[in-house]
Amino acid sequence: MTNLPFRTHYLFPAALASLLFLGSLRIVLDNLQNSHHTCAFFRPLSGGYRVIRPPIRVSDEETIKDGCNIFEGKWVQGNGSYPLYTEESCPLLVKQVTCQKNGRPDSSYQKWKWQPDGCNLPRFNALKLLEILRDKRLMFVGDSVQRSMFDSMVCLVQSVIPEGKKSLRRDPPRKIFRAEEYNASIEFYWAPFLVESISDHATNHTVMKRLVRLDSISNHSKQWEGVDILVYESYVWWMYKPTINVTYGDLGHVEEYNVTIAYKIAMETWGKWIEASINSQSQKVFFMTMSPTHLWSWEWKNGDDGNCFGESEPIQRPYWGTGSNLDIMGIVKDVLGKLRVDVRLLNITQLSEYRKDGHASVYGERKGKLLTKVQRSDPKNYADCIHWCLPGIPDTWNEILYAVLLQDYRVS
Protein backbone atom coordinates (compact mmCIF):
# COMPACT_ATOMS: atom_id res chain seq x y z
CA MET A 1 0.00 0.00 0.00
CA THR A 2 1.26 3.44 -0.86
CA ASN A 3 2.52 5.30 2.15
CA LEU A 4 0.55 8.45 2.75
CA PRO A 5 2.23 11.65 3.79
CA PHE A 6 2.53 12.18 7.54
CA ARG A 7 -0.08 15.00 7.61
CA THR A 8 -2.59 12.90 5.65
CA HIS A 9 -2.62 10.21 8.36
CA TYR A 10 -4.19 12.78 10.67
CA LEU A 11 -6.72 14.25 8.26
CA PHE A 12 -9.05 11.22 8.34
CA PRO A 13 -9.46 11.13 12.16
CA ALA A 14 -9.95 14.91 12.21
CA ALA A 15 -12.57 14.74 9.47
CA LEU A 16 -14.32 11.86 11.21
CA ALA A 17 -14.38 13.77 14.50
CA SER A 18 -15.84 16.81 12.74
CA LEU A 19 -18.58 14.73 11.14
CA LEU A 20 -19.46 13.14 14.48
CA PHE A 21 -19.60 16.56 16.16
CA LEU A 22 -21.80 18.03 13.44
CA GLY A 23 -24.10 15.01 13.56
CA SER A 24 -24.46 15.31 17.32
CA LEU A 25 -25.12 19.01 17.07
CA ARG A 26 -27.79 18.38 14.40
CA ILE A 27 -29.54 15.88 16.69
CA VAL A 28 -29.54 18.39 19.56
CA LEU A 29 -30.92 21.16 17.35
CA ASP A 30 -33.58 18.85 15.88
CA ASN A 31 -34.68 17.84 19.36
CA LEU A 32 -34.94 21.46 20.40
CA GLN A 33 -36.91 22.30 17.28
CA ASN A 34 -39.36 19.47 17.88
CA SER A 35 -39.71 20.24 21.58
CA HIS A 36 -42.78 22.05 22.88
CA HIS A 37 -40.48 24.54 24.60
CA THR A 38 -39.75 28.00 23.29
CA CYS A 39 -36.91 27.81 20.76
CA ALA A 40 -33.52 28.23 22.45
CA PHE A 41 -29.89 28.76 21.56
CA PHE A 42 -26.58 28.22 23.37
CA ARG A 43 -24.24 30.78 24.88
CA PRO A 44 -20.70 29.68 25.81
CA LEU A 45 -19.61 29.99 29.40
CA SER A 46 -16.30 29.12 31.02
CA GLY A 47 -16.54 25.41 31.62
CA GLY A 48 -19.64 24.81 29.47
CA TYR A 49 -22.75 26.23 27.83
CA ARG A 50 -26.07 27.51 29.10
CA VAL A 51 -29.35 27.71 27.26
CA ILE A 52 -30.56 31.21 26.42
CA ARG A 53 -34.29 31.35 25.70
CA PRO A 54 -35.65 34.26 23.73
CA PRO A 55 -38.65 35.99 25.36
CA ILE A 56 -42.10 34.63 24.67
CA ARG A 57 -44.14 36.67 22.23
CA VAL A 58 -47.09 38.63 23.61
CA SER A 59 -49.34 39.85 20.82
CA ASP A 60 -51.48 42.99 20.86
CA GLU A 61 -54.57 40.76 21.23
CA GLU A 62 -53.12 39.44 24.49
CA THR A 63 -52.61 42.89 25.94
CA ILE A 64 -55.10 44.56 28.25
CA LYS A 65 -56.02 47.97 26.84
CA ASP A 66 -55.12 51.02 28.89
CA GLY A 67 -58.00 52.10 31.05
CA CYS A 68 -59.87 48.80 30.77
CA ASN A 69 -61.14 47.43 34.07
CA ILE A 70 -61.07 43.65 33.59
CA PHE A 71 -63.21 43.17 36.70
CA GLU A 72 -66.22 44.95 35.19
CA GLY A 73 -68.21 43.18 32.50
CA LYS A 74 -70.71 40.40 31.96
CA TRP A 75 -70.92 36.64 31.44
CA VAL A 76 -71.48 35.48 27.87
CA GLN A 77 -71.73 32.09 26.21
CA GLY A 78 -68.32 30.65 25.42
CA ASN A 79 -69.45 29.35 22.00
CA GLY A 80 -67.74 26.01 22.38
CA SER A 81 -64.44 27.40 23.67
CA TYR A 82 -65.25 26.55 27.28
CA PRO A 83 -64.52 24.76 29.50
CA LEU A 84 -60.74 25.02 29.16
CA TYR A 85 -60.38 21.43 30.46
CA THR A 86 -62.70 18.66 31.64
CA GLU A 87 -62.96 16.53 34.74
CA GLU A 88 -61.71 13.59 32.68
CA SER A 89 -58.69 15.47 31.32
CA CYS A 90 -57.57 16.47 34.82
CA PRO A 91 -57.34 13.39 37.05
CA LEU A 92 -55.79 15.50 39.84
CA LEU A 93 -59.16 17.04 40.81
CA VAL A 94 -60.58 16.13 44.23
CA LYS A 95 -64.15 14.89 44.77
CA GLN A 96 -65.24 18.12 46.42
CA VAL A 97 -65.24 19.90 43.05
CA THR A 98 -66.03 17.20 40.46
CA CYS A 99 -69.74 17.96 40.30
CA GLN A 100 -70.32 16.01 37.06
CA LYS A 101 -68.82 12.82 38.44
CA ASN A 102 -70.82 13.38 41.60
CA GLY A 103 -74.11 13.38 39.70
CA ARG A 104 -74.85 16.95 38.62
CA PRO A 105 -77.20 16.55 35.63
CA ASP A 106 -76.33 19.79 33.78
CA SER A 107 -73.01 21.16 32.54
CA SER A 108 -74.07 24.65 31.41
CA TYR A 109 -72.21 26.25 34.33
CA GLN A 110 -68.92 25.24 32.64
CA LYS A 111 -69.60 27.08 29.39
CA TRP A 112 -69.75 30.74 30.34
CA LYS A 113 -67.00 33.23 29.54
CA TRP A 114 -66.21 36.43 31.42
CA GLN A 115 -66.30 39.38 29.02
CA PRO A 116 -64.85 42.65 30.41
CA ASP A 117 -66.36 45.90 29.21
CA GLY A 118 -64.22 47.49 26.51
CA CYS A 119 -61.52 44.82 26.16
CA ASN A 120 -60.89 41.08 26.06
CA LEU A 121 -59.08 38.71 28.36
CA PRO A 122 -56.30 36.88 26.53
CA ARG A 123 -56.96 33.22 25.85
CA PHE A 124 -55.23 31.16 28.51
CA ASN A 125 -52.00 29.68 27.14
CA ALA A 126 -50.50 27.04 29.43
CA LEU A 127 -47.10 26.99 27.70
CA LYS A 128 -46.73 30.75 28.01
CA LEU A 129 -47.65 30.68 31.67
CA LEU A 130 -45.16 27.89 32.34
CA GLU A 131 -42.49 29.92 30.58
CA ILE A 132 -43.35 32.90 32.80
CA LEU A 133 -43.09 30.56 35.83
CA ARG A 134 -39.79 29.03 34.74
CA ASP A 135 -37.46 28.72 37.77
CA LYS A 136 -40.18 30.24 39.97
CA ARG A 137 -42.72 29.36 42.68
CA LEU A 138 -46.36 30.42 42.52
CA MET A 139 -48.17 29.95 45.83
CA PHE A 140 -51.86 30.32 46.66
CA VAL A 141 -52.46 31.03 50.37
CA GLY A 142 -55.80 30.80 52.13
CA ASP A 143 -58.71 28.43 52.74
CA SER A 144 -60.55 25.76 50.71
CA VAL A 145 -61.87 28.37 48.27
CA GLN A 146 -58.30 29.39 47.53
CA ARG A 147 -57.38 25.72 47.26
CA SER A 148 -59.89 25.42 44.41
CA MET A 149 -58.00 28.19 42.61
CA PHE A 150 -54.84 26.12 43.04
CA ASP A 151 -56.63 23.02 41.74
CA SER A 152 -57.89 25.02 38.77
CA MET A 153 -54.44 26.34 37.90
CA VAL A 154 -52.96 22.85 38.05
CA CYS A 155 -55.66 21.58 35.69
CA LEU A 156 -55.09 24.48 33.30
CA VAL A 157 -51.39 23.65 32.85
CA GLN A 158 -50.93 19.95 33.52
CA SER A 159 -52.17 18.63 30.15
CA VAL A 160 -49.30 20.26 28.21
CA ILE A 161 -46.64 18.67 30.42
CA PRO A 162 -45.48 15.17 29.39
CA GLU A 163 -46.02 12.24 31.75
CA GLY A 164 -43.05 11.76 34.01
CA LYS A 165 -42.27 15.48 33.92
CA LYS A 166 -44.94 16.55 36.41
CA SER A 167 -45.87 15.59 39.94
CA LEU A 168 -48.30 16.47 42.72
CA ARG A 169 -47.46 15.82 46.34
CA ARG A 170 -49.09 16.66 49.63
CA ASP A 171 -46.84 18.08 52.31
CA PRO A 172 -49.37 19.47 54.85
CA PRO A 173 -50.14 22.30 55.12
CA ARG A 174 -48.92 22.51 51.49
CA LYS A 175 -49.84 20.89 48.19
CA ILE A 176 -47.11 21.16 45.57
CA PHE A 177 -47.38 20.65 41.83
CA ARG A 178 -44.05 20.49 39.99
CA ALA A 179 -43.34 21.07 36.30
CA GLU A 180 -39.89 19.53 36.15
CA GLU A 181 -38.71 20.75 32.74
CA TYR A 182 -39.50 24.32 33.77
CA ASN A 183 -38.15 23.98 37.32
CA ALA A 184 -41.45 25.58 38.33
CA SER A 185 -43.90 24.87 41.13
CA ILE A 186 -47.53 25.77 41.76
CA GLU A 187 -48.35 25.45 45.45
CA PHE A 188 -51.17 25.81 47.95
CA TYR A 189 -50.67 26.70 51.60
CA TRP A 190 -53.49 26.28 54.13
CA ALA A 191 -53.94 29.42 56.27
CA PRO A 192 -57.68 30.21 56.51
CA PHE A 193 -57.17 33.31 58.69
CA LEU A 194 -53.69 34.28 57.36
CA VAL A 195 -52.68 34.83 60.98
CA GLU A 196 -52.30 31.78 63.22
CA SER A 197 -55.33 29.98 64.63
CA ILE A 198 -56.47 26.68 66.12
CA SER A 199 -57.76 25.79 62.63
CA ASP A 200 -54.32 25.67 61.00
CA HIS A 201 -54.12 21.88 60.72
CA ALA A 202 -54.45 21.08 57.02
CA THR A 203 -57.08 18.34 57.47
CA ASN A 204 -58.29 18.43 61.09
CA HIS A 205 -59.41 22.05 61.34
CA THR A 206 -63.13 21.93 62.15
CA VAL A 207 -63.66 23.35 65.63
CA MET A 208 -66.74 24.51 67.49
CA LYS A 209 -65.13 27.70 68.79
CA ARG A 210 -62.72 29.45 66.47
CA LEU A 211 -59.72 31.13 68.03
CA VAL A 212 -57.17 33.31 66.21
CA ARG A 213 -53.90 34.92 67.29
CA LEU A 214 -54.23 38.37 65.83
CA ASP A 215 -50.58 39.37 66.33
CA SER A 216 -48.87 36.16 65.26
CA ILE A 217 -48.05 35.06 61.72
CA SER A 218 -44.52 33.61 61.93
CA ASN A 219 -45.49 29.92 61.75
CA HIS A 220 -47.09 30.63 58.37
CA SER A 221 -44.82 33.32 57.00
CA LYS A 222 -41.65 31.24 57.16
CA GLN A 223 -43.27 29.10 54.43
CA TRP A 224 -43.90 32.17 52.28
CA GLU A 225 -40.36 33.58 52.34
CA GLY A 226 -38.74 33.85 48.95
CA VAL A 227 -41.81 32.74 46.98
CA ASP A 228 -41.83 34.54 43.62
CA ILE A 229 -45.60 35.01 43.21
CA LEU A 230 -47.95 34.98 46.21
CA VAL A 231 -51.75 35.04 45.91
CA TYR A 232 -53.56 35.53 49.23
CA GLU A 233 -57.22 35.11 50.21
CA SER A 234 -59.04 35.04 53.56
CA TYR A 235 -62.73 35.62 54.13
CA VAL A 236 -65.22 32.75 54.60
CA TRP A 237 -63.74 31.46 57.85
CA TRP A 238 -64.16 34.87 59.46
CA MET A 239 -67.88 34.92 58.65
CA TYR A 240 -68.98 31.99 60.84
CA LYS A 241 -70.43 34.31 63.51
CA PRO A 242 -70.54 38.09 64.12
CA THR A 243 -67.89 37.66 66.83
CA ILE A 244 -64.74 35.59 67.15
CA ASN A 245 -62.43 34.56 70.00
CA VAL A 246 -58.96 36.09 69.80
CA THR A 247 -55.69 36.45 71.64
CA TYR A 248 -53.52 39.52 71.26
CA GLY A 249 -50.14 39.49 72.93
CA ASP A 250 -51.06 37.33 75.91
CA LEU A 251 -51.86 33.74 74.85
CA GLY A 252 -53.53 33.10 78.19
CA HIS A 253 -56.02 35.91 77.73
CA VAL A 254 -58.88 35.17 75.31
CA GLU A 255 -61.31 37.90 74.32
CA GLU A 256 -64.33 38.05 72.04
CA TYR A 257 -63.97 40.58 69.23
CA ASN A 258 -66.32 41.82 66.56
CA VAL A 259 -65.30 40.02 63.37
CA THR A 260 -64.62 43.19 61.36
CA ILE A 261 -62.36 44.59 64.09
CA ALA A 262 -60.49 41.28 64.36
CA TYR A 263 -60.15 41.05 60.58
CA LYS A 264 -58.64 44.53 60.38
CA ILE A 265 -56.04 43.74 63.05
CA ALA A 266 -55.18 40.44 61.36
CA MET A 267 -54.75 42.18 58.00
CA GLU A 268 -52.49 44.78 59.58
CA THR A 269 -50.35 42.00 61.09
CA TRP A 270 -50.10 40.38 57.67
CA GLY A 271 -49.31 43.77 56.11
CA LYS A 272 -46.38 44.35 58.47
CA TRP A 273 -44.85 41.06 57.35
CA ILE A 274 -45.39 41.99 53.71
CA GLU A 275 -43.60 45.31 54.17
CA ALA A 276 -40.71 43.74 56.08
CA SER A 277 -40.22 40.67 53.89
CA ILE A 278 -41.26 41.26 50.27
CA ASN A 279 -38.81 42.48 47.64
CA SER A 280 -40.93 44.18 45.01
CA GLN A 281 -38.12 43.91 42.48
CA SER A 282 -38.20 40.13 42.45
CA GLN A 283 -41.56 39.13 44.00
CA LYS A 284 -45.20 39.75 43.09
CA VAL A 285 -48.03 39.77 45.64
CA PHE A 286 -51.77 39.62 44.94
CA PHE A 287 -54.76 39.66 47.27
CA MET A 288 -58.06 38.06 46.25
CA THR A 289 -61.26 39.74 47.35
CA MET A 290 -64.21 37.82 48.77
CA SER A 291 -65.54 34.74 47.06
CA PRO A 292 -69.32 35.28 47.33
CA THR A 293 -71.86 32.82 48.69
CA HIS A 294 -75.38 32.22 47.36
CA LEU A 295 -77.17 30.92 50.43
CA TRP A 296 -80.55 32.63 50.00
CA SER A 297 -82.32 32.60 46.66
CA TRP A 298 -84.83 35.26 47.72
CA GLU A 299 -82.03 37.75 46.98
CA TRP A 300 -82.31 37.13 43.23
CA LYS A 301 -85.76 35.47 43.05
CA ASN A 302 -88.53 37.22 44.95
CA GLY A 303 -90.48 35.01 47.34
CA ASP A 304 -88.22 31.96 46.98
CA ASP A 305 -86.89 30.30 50.13
CA GLY A 306 -84.22 28.10 48.51
CA ASN A 307 -80.53 28.59 47.78
CA CYS A 308 -78.09 27.88 44.93
CA PHE A 309 -79.47 24.38 44.35
CA GLY A 310 -81.01 23.90 40.90
CA GLU A 311 -79.61 27.15 39.47
CA SER A 312 -78.29 26.80 35.92
CA GLU A 313 -77.66 30.35 34.65
CA PRO A 314 -75.88 33.48 35.89
CA ILE A 315 -77.72 36.48 37.28
CA GLN A 316 -78.05 38.91 34.37
CA ARG A 317 -78.76 42.12 36.26
CA PRO A 318 -76.93 44.29 38.84
CA TYR A 319 -76.59 42.18 41.97
CA TRP A 320 -74.73 42.17 45.28
CA GLY A 321 -75.58 39.47 47.80
CA THR A 322 -75.74 39.87 51.56
CA GLY A 323 -73.07 37.17 51.88
CA SER A 324 -70.42 39.64 50.67
CA ASN A 325 -69.42 42.00 53.46
CA LEU A 326 -68.74 45.55 52.31
CA ASP A 327 -66.97 46.37 55.57
CA ILE A 328 -64.47 43.57 54.93
CA MET A 329 -63.99 44.78 51.35
CA GLY A 330 -63.28 48.27 52.67
CA ILE A 331 -60.74 46.95 55.19
CA VAL A 332 -58.83 45.08 52.48
CA LYS A 333 -58.65 48.15 50.24
CA ASP A 334 -57.65 50.36 53.16
CA VAL A 335 -54.85 48.09 54.40
CA LEU A 336 -53.45 47.48 50.91
CA GLY A 337 -53.62 51.17 50.11
CA LYS A 338 -51.37 52.04 53.06
CA LEU A 339 -48.67 49.47 52.33
CA ARG A 340 -45.29 50.67 51.08
CA VAL A 341 -45.03 47.44 49.08
CA ASP A 342 -47.09 46.93 45.93
CA VAL A 343 -49.86 44.37 46.57
CA ARG A 344 -52.38 44.17 43.76
CA LEU A 345 -56.04 43.50 44.33
CA LEU A 346 -57.75 40.79 42.29
CA ASN A 347 -61.34 41.98 42.65
CA ILE A 348 -63.23 38.80 41.75
CA THR A 349 -66.22 39.44 44.02
CA GLN A 350 -68.67 41.21 41.71
CA LEU A 351 -68.06 38.98 38.69
CA SER A 352 -68.50 35.91 40.91
CA GLU A 353 -71.64 37.35 42.52
CA TYR A 354 -73.50 36.76 39.25
CA ARG A 355 -72.64 33.05 39.24
CA LYS A 356 -75.27 31.51 41.50
CA ASP A 357 -75.16 28.49 39.17
CA GLY A 358 -71.52 27.56 39.74
CA HIS A 359 -71.55 26.13 43.27
CA ALA A 360 -71.07 22.51 44.29
CA SER A 361 -74.60 22.50 45.76
CA VAL A 362 -75.52 18.87 46.63
CA TYR A 363 -72.88 17.47 44.24
CA GLY A 364 -69.91 17.93 46.54
CA GLU A 365 -68.64 16.60 49.84
CA ARG A 366 -69.36 17.20 53.48
CA LYS A 367 -66.67 16.25 56.01
CA GLY A 368 -64.77 14.35 53.35
CA LYS A 369 -67.70 12.24 52.14
CA LEU A 370 -70.09 12.62 49.23
CA LEU A 371 -73.65 13.41 50.24
CA THR A 372 -76.01 10.48 50.57
CA LYS A 373 -79.24 10.26 48.56
CA VAL A 374 -81.18 11.34 51.63
CA GLN A 375 -78.97 14.39 52.11
CA ARG A 376 -79.18 15.31 48.41
CA SER A 377 -82.96 15.26 48.67
CA ASP A 378 -82.72 18.00 51.30
CA PRO A 379 -80.83 20.83 49.52
CA LYS A 380 -82.17 23.45 51.90
CA ASN A 381 -79.99 21.98 54.64
CA TYR A 382 -77.21 20.28 52.68
CA ALA A 383 -76.49 22.33 49.53
CA ASP A 384 -72.97 23.79 49.50
CA CYS A 385 -73.36 27.33 48.19
CA ILE A 386 -69.83 28.37 49.18
CA HIS A 387 -67.50 26.12 47.18
CA TRP A 388 -67.39 26.00 43.38
CA CYS A 389 -67.51 23.19 40.82
CA LEU A 390 -64.51 22.65 38.55
CA PRO A 391 -64.24 23.35 35.70
CA GLY A 392 -65.94 26.57 36.72
CA ILE A 393 -65.60 30.01 38.25
CA PRO A 394 -62.07 29.66 39.71
CA ASP A 395 -60.82 29.08 36.14
CA THR A 396 -61.87 32.65 35.35
CA TRP A 397 -59.99 33.92 38.40
CA ASN A 398 -56.89 32.22 37.01
CA GLU A 399 -57.52 33.63 33.52
CA ILE A 400 -57.46 37.09 35.11
CA LEU A 401 -54.29 36.30 37.06
CA TYR A 402 -52.69 35.00 33.86
CA ALA A 403 -53.69 38.18 31.99
CA VAL A 404 -52.01 40.35 34.64
CA LEU A 405 -48.84 38.22 34.70
CA LEU A 406 -48.69 38.32 30.90
CA GLN A 407 -49.06 42.09 30.98
CA ASP A 408 -46.24 42.33 33.52
CA TYR A 409 -44.07 40.09 31.36
CA ARG A 410 -44.60 42.23 28.28
CA VAL A 411 -43.66 45.52 29.93
CA SER A 412 -40.75 44.15 31.99
Residue type at position 202? A
Give catalytic status of residue 387 as yes or no: yes
- DSSP assignment letter at 62: G
Give the active site residue among 220, 294, 359, 387: 387
Count Cα neighbours of 250 within 13 Å in the Cβ-side half-sphere: 4
Q: Which of 144, 234, 291, 297 is catalytic?
A: 144
Candidates 345, 64, 37, 29; CA nearest to 183 is: 37
Q: Is 135 a catalytic residue?
A: no
- CA 139 – CA 150 distance, rounded (Å): 8
- The CA distance from 375 to 364, in Å, is 11
**Would you say 197 and 212 are in contact if contact means Cβ atoms under 8 Å apart?**
yes
Catalytic residue among 151, 200, 357, 384: 384
In whole angstroms, how far apart are CA 301 and each of 107, 319, 355?
Answer: 22, 11, 14
9 is annotated as an active-site residue: no
Q: Could you tell me the end-to-end alpha-carbon distance of the chain, in angstroms, rounded to an integer?
A: 68
Residues 273, 277, 133: CA angle, nearest 5 degrees: 115
Helix (H) or strand (E) holding 232: strand 229-232
For β-strands 112-116 and 73-77, DSSP reports them as: antiparallel
**Residues annotated catalytic, as ranges:** 144, 384, 387
